[in-house]
Structure 1
């Protein structure tokens, strides 16, 4: 039964078409996958289906075929037409032009749509896990609500954190609570925009299994965008391939994914790079803190780590392993509880635990960091974010040339890079903002670069371009990289060495292929072994 009809939709932002004459039909109970490069229009289409402000189509229509109760104004899926509503009235079949209907009907439909967004954890940070889920449950008494909440948290495999405060959770755990919250709303449509882009493979697999059990297998209608080919094949009934705002292919997930991946180039493989001597030394570094709910938390627990000059070193591990805390300690954003941290500057070793201009202040100008929760200056355009906003004072024409060069390095073609220089962050897609944030780090050419999930929102083609740019930067500028990543293919392609973290400790170090085999799901282990 036809549920959602997208008819000749076009959406323009500041003269640029981000969706161009898009048409498709989504049947009730099916899962539509949206595949495409960063900036292709995936998130715009999902936000439009959700009814988010500023995403009204400039041309075309979004039609929802629904069952509507005229008495209590409840909205249900079209198959419920003719059935009795809980108020006693009968549901009536209705076709609604979503963006041109009255406000009451618009709000009624919007309430029945749940959404999971990339890098956004919509939780009450000071509430417990179960309270976060309970606040999303309506029309049930207290006992029923608690039972439903527990079932949903069990589905999301979060019952072990049921009384923990949300702010104490790792990113992967937060995303699983978000899933439980959105399912608690009993939606008729579930939207997921890159829900596992920044998660480690095992946590991502938990989310995918929960989406399979809680949404797809229960016959709910879902629309999901992802750059993980496995997600498209595993969860989708049909796939559309968006390219520069247009649907260029649609149909069978396996066939569409295969054609999409055929255009992904292999990373450039140069000669084995000869690294220098040690440039970073961390000895017995610990970061312990106290949580009322969890007691003593050992975020980093006795780390010993050495990174050589010009080495690309990866740190992998499940969500909550302590990887981000480790990177923040190295940069000086988080004070270690104990331990010794040394960074070599020229021929001098600097104590990074010592504050002030004679301690880590001497090294800071030579360090760059891309945070997992990166942010750009919202009131500066892209050129401003890459120059004045980070105190990079350059002549106007040279600043523009350098900005275009570094934007090309992170996956933009030259024509588009020139176009976006005058755009502001809110005019870019999430993946484009991520790449600009990476460019913001690279443009200052720091000696040591710390990247926390640098490819989390990137499509496979952009990921290869970023891989090549990191290797090129290392080869040409003698830069050293410490990379925190859940992207196993990226770690294999770019890193010289890797370390596996678990429970705040480094369990082993060595060849990235060997390290990753201890982390990835069974199927990928077999694939890596065969490779």
Structure 2
């Protein structure tokens, strides 16, 4: 049975088309997969289905086939198959009706939006100061929030997303993968008839991603909830989607079975550049028995990092790998002075001097921090500045106007934008960019200040395969041309094998092994390889 029909949809931003003549039908209870490169229009289409005001189509229709409550004070909506039944809210009859979403009345449109949930890429959307279970209960609404039934439902949802062991933890203390699973529990707590998932597993390690995939199957597909999902992971399309489209430059260039679409899309993915491995011997970061312990009343002592020692050399691309929650992000935050160590030694070389990163002040840690660059896993751009502003004024990079444009355009080329497009990108606003484009601009924001050491937290998380290869090559180019040192936090061993000279494996706050990426892979068990290597 038809659920959503898109007819002749067109959408432009500032005169530039981003969706062109989209015609598509989504069946009730099915999952549509959307595949495409960064900037192809995937996120625009997702936000249009959500009803986000800025993404209203310029022309065309988004039609919902629904069963809507005849009680005008209720207007609860269900999928069309429920027509003739009783409204679960007020008991009145549900009547079949097709609604033109973007031309509907305010109340009807609001009723549809209440039944749509969304997971946005890299947007964890949690209340940081609240516990995990409070975050889920808040999604159920204010009325009867703490009633026994709601509490049990919240616990069931957290068990489904494998987060029942974190029920009383404060959200800010969770890892990125854990936050993403709580976000899914929150969205399911809203009892949606449609779930929109924009790269929901892009920042997760393969093991955690597989858990989330299984949850999406059990909690969404098996429950008959319709879903639209974008992803650059072929296995996501093959495991979750019933139907798939390939978007390119805003057009559907192929529509069909997910395995066929994935196969044809992957034929367009370039190969990573093969570079000769160079041994780097001049030390720049030294870490000795570093620890970071937290204490809370509920949890006692939490050993986020527990006695880690390592050395990183000038010009190396060094990977710190491990599954979600292993301690790798906390370790790198201590390296760049964002988090104070509980114990141990951590020094960074600046010129001929070794700087103690535990000591604050302009003569100590403050001397090094201007030469450190960090791309957070939860990065963000300044929404009220265009791309040029984000790459200059917003980060206090004061340059003559014309030189600023040239330098900004050049750095955009470095992160994979085509030469003839990089100059026009400078006048775009962040909300006009796709998720992958924003990611690359955020990486450019780090590289444009020419730091000595660059820390990248899951740098390929939400990137399609083509963009991923472009960024891989960009990192290699930046290291060779600028003599930069890269510390890369990742759960993606395929990426680490492509780009890193050396890697350390972390688990449970401890460093288990250090060596070449190939040596790290050789030490993994068969099960671990399956979790961390997508192509295994």
| TM, length-normalised to structure 1 | 0.95
Give how far 1:521 is off: 8.0
Counterpart in 1 of 2:68? 68
Counterpart in 2 of 1:105? 108
- Which segment is superposed worse, 456-465 or 115-124? 115-124
The alpha-carbon distance between structure 1 residues 161 and 24, as it changes in their structure 2 partners (threshold 3 A), is: same
Counterpart in 2 of 1:83? 85
- Which segment is superposed worse, 341-350 or 251-260? 341-350
Q: CA RMSD in A?
A: 2.2
Aligned 8 A contact 2:285 2:349 in 1: yes
Counterpart in 2 of 1:326? 331
Cα distance in 2, alignment partners of residues 161 and 519 from structure 1: 27
Give how far 1:520 is off: 9.1
Give how far 1:524 is off: 5.2
Q: How does 1:398-413 map to 2 (within 5 A)?
A: 398-413=403-418
Name the SS of the counterpart of 1:455 in structure 2: coil
Aligned 8 A contact 1:368 1:450 in 2: yes
Counterpart in 1 of 2:45? 45
Counterpart in 2 of 1:218? 223
Counterpart in 2 of 1:17? 17
Cα distance in 2, alignment partners of residues 19 and 319 from structure 1: 35
Q: How does 1:438-457 map to 2 (within 5 A)?
A: 438-457=443-462
Counterpart in 1 of 2:128? 125
- Which segment is superposed worse, 225-234 or 113-122? 113-122
The alpha-carbon distance between structure 1 residues 172 and 520, as it changes in their structure 2 partners (threshold 3 A), is: farther
Aligned 8 A contact 1:201 1:520 in 2: no
- Which segment is superposed worse, 75-84 or 360-369? 360-369
Name the SS of the counterpart of 1:227 in structure 2: coil
Give how far 1:231 is off: 0.3
The alpha-carbon distance between structure 1 residues 365 and 84, as it changes in their structure 2 partners (threshold 3 A), is: closer
Counterpart in 1 of 2:235? 230
Counterpart in 2 of 1:183? 188
The alpha-carbon distance between structure 1 residues 519 and 4, as it changes in their structure 2 partners (threshold 3 A), is: farther
The alpha-carbon distance between structure 1 residues 449 and 124, as it changes in their structure 2 partners (threshold 3 A), is: closer
Q: How does 1:334-483 map to 2 (within 5 A)?
A: 334-483=339-488
Counterpart in 2 of 1:29? 29
- Unmatched segments (≥5 aa) in structure 1: none
Cα distance in 1, alignment partners of residues 384 and 4 from structure 2: 37
The alpha-carbon distance between structure 1 residues 518 and 211, as it changes in their structure 2 partners (threshold 3 A), is: farther
Cα distance in 1, alignment partners of residues 295 and 116 from structure 2: 38
Give how far 1:237 is off: 0.6
Cα distance in 1, alignment partners of residues 533 and 204 from structure 2: 19
Give how far 1:156 is off: 0.6
Aligned 8 A contact 1:513 1:528 in 2: no
- Which segment is superposed worse, 199-208 or 504-513? 504-513
The alpha-carbon distance between structure 1 residues 259 and 365, as it changes in their structure 2 partners (threshold 3 A), is: same
Number of residues of Structure 1 aligned to a counterpart in Structure 2? 531
Aligned 8 A contact 2:205 2:532 in 1: no
| TM, length-normalised to structure 2 | 0.94
Aligned 8 A contact 1:310 1:474 in 2: yes
The alpha-carbon distance between structure 1 residues 244 and 353, as it changes in their structure 2 partners (threshold 3 A), is: same
Name the SS of the counterpart of 2:53 in structure 1: coil
